[in-house]
Amino acid sequence: MNILHRLLRPLKLALERWSFRRKVKRLQKRDPFIY
Amino acid sequence: MPADRFYRIEDNDKLGRFWLKGEIPVVATRAIPPSSELLWLPADQPRSASGAYKDVRITYKTNAQGWRSREIVPTSPNKKIMFVGCSFTMGIGVPYDEVWTSMATQHIEASLGEPIEQHNFGYGAHGNDFFAMVVHQVLPILKPDLLVVLFTDLSRRTLFQQFGHRLPLLPSYVPDDNRAVHEAYLRLQSDHGDFMDFVRQHSFIDAVATVNRTPWVWQANGPHVLPHSAQVAKYVRNDNMIDCAFPAYGLAATDETMKRDYARDGVHPGPRANKTFGLATARFILGRGLCAEEK
């Protein structure tokens, strides 16, 4: 892994977390029911 | 339930009887016991009571297997309609006589002038895979004259972690003791996978209904649930799709009265949406002469 990948890694993780949170919010808006 | 106990396949026979041919699945729980009359459910609590049914006494009467329905008597000479769906069909926060299934049955009964039995296999929190299981198990036993399925959000899944126990997975409910499983489910979810799953469950229900020579009709519980109709038509049978979507209510509604149309729990559809869809379903069934043939 070169230095660029190493520097970008936290950014990639943050992006992944952000996109997952967005996905969950979208799904919960589409099906807001718990029953 | 002790976590270290190993559940064998035989435990399924004693507990839920899920996917077991020739048996009615048992959905009764500690919170919703079989053969009982309850005034409140975990999903419909006094603290959240509001709207048109705020002070209305709602009774949840369960049968021997825990469904909010009448007892199953396969030898009964009456015509039977079997309804399958989620909490919309179960009628959470709505008196039983005003759930869309009762509205449809009453209208058909009045039009045909003969008694018709409503068998309601609606159960909250579960998805289309669960509905396919219910049809697979119940249809050959009950032998209804008509099957009506109201599909739910395509992302819901049922997980059988142990024989005889089900864990419903749906986006908005995070089970306290299964947080990691719920996150894994959300990570695996994709809209494309959900649509393929819907096609699989729909085709399975169609096959079971065809083998048992039972006519069936269907719709989804909201206008936003399915992709556009041209895509749906390419993948599943749609000549039996009820010609009225489940009405938009609450935040999704444009009409002022529908915006306030909530059940007692403040989340589920209220009297207007249930009545509109129930009558539309009855009209669709009567218009096609389904349920009118002699037994």
Q: Contacts of residue B87 in chain A, CB cutoff 8 Å?
A: 33, 35
How near does any CA of chain A get to the CA of B94, in Å? 14
B206 touches B135 (CB < 8 A): no
Q: Is residue B118 part of a domain?
A: yes
One digit per residue, the tens of pLDDT, for chain A of length 35 reads: 789 999 999 999 999 999 999 999 999 999 999 88
Distance CA B53, CA B294 (A): 39
Q: Is residue B8 part of a domain?
A: no
Confidence of residue B267 (pLDDT cuts 50, 70, 90): very high
- Residue A28 near chain B (CB below 8 Å): yes
Q: Is residue B3 part of a domain?
A: no
Q: How many domains does chain B have?
A: 1
pLDDT tens, position by position, B38-82: 999 999 999 999 999 999 999 999 999 999 999 999 899 999 999
Helix (H, G, I), strand (E, B) or coil at B264: coil
Pick from B130, B157, B170, B194 the residue to mutate for testing the A interface (most A CBs within 10 Å): B170
Distance CA B220, CA B177 (A): 31
How near does any CA of chain A get to the CA of B1, in Å? 22
Q: Contacts of residue A23 in chain B, CB cutoff 8 Å?
A: 186, 189
Q: Which chain A residue lies closest to B267 (C-alpha atoms)?
A: A33
Distance CA B56, CA B245 (A): 28
Instruction: Give the domain extent around B206.
Output: 17-287
Helix (H, G, I), strand (E, B) or coil at B203: helix
- Residue A23 near chain B (CB below 8 Å): yes
- Residue B189 near chain A (CB below 8 Å): yes
How near does any CA of chain B get to the CA of A33, in Å? 6
Task: Give CA B54 to chain center in angstroms.
Answer: 24
Q: Which chain A residue lies closest to B125 (C-alpha atoms)?
A: A35
- Has residue B2 got a pLDDT over 80? no
Q: Is residue B28 part of a domain?
A: yes
How near does any CA of chain A get to the CA of B14, in Å? 25
Q: Is residue B294 part of a domain?
A: no
- Residue B75 near chain A (CB below 8 Å): no
Q: Is residue B43 part of a domain?
A: yes
Q: Is residue B22 part of a domain?
A: yes
| Cβ pair A35:B187 closer than 8 A | no
pLDDT of residue A33: 92
pLDDT tens, position by position, B145-190: 999 999 999 999 999 999 999 999 999 999 999 999 999 999 999 9
Q: What is the CATH number of the domain that holds B143?
A: 3.40.50.1110
A28 touches B171 (CB < 8 A): yes
Neighbouring residues of B213: CB distance < 8 A, sequence distance ≥ 6 = none
- Residue B172 near chain A (CB below 8 Å): yes
Q: Regarding predicted confidence, which is higher, B4 or B130?
A: B130
| Cβ pair A32:B267 closer than 8 A | yes
Q: Is residue B9 part of a domain?
A: no
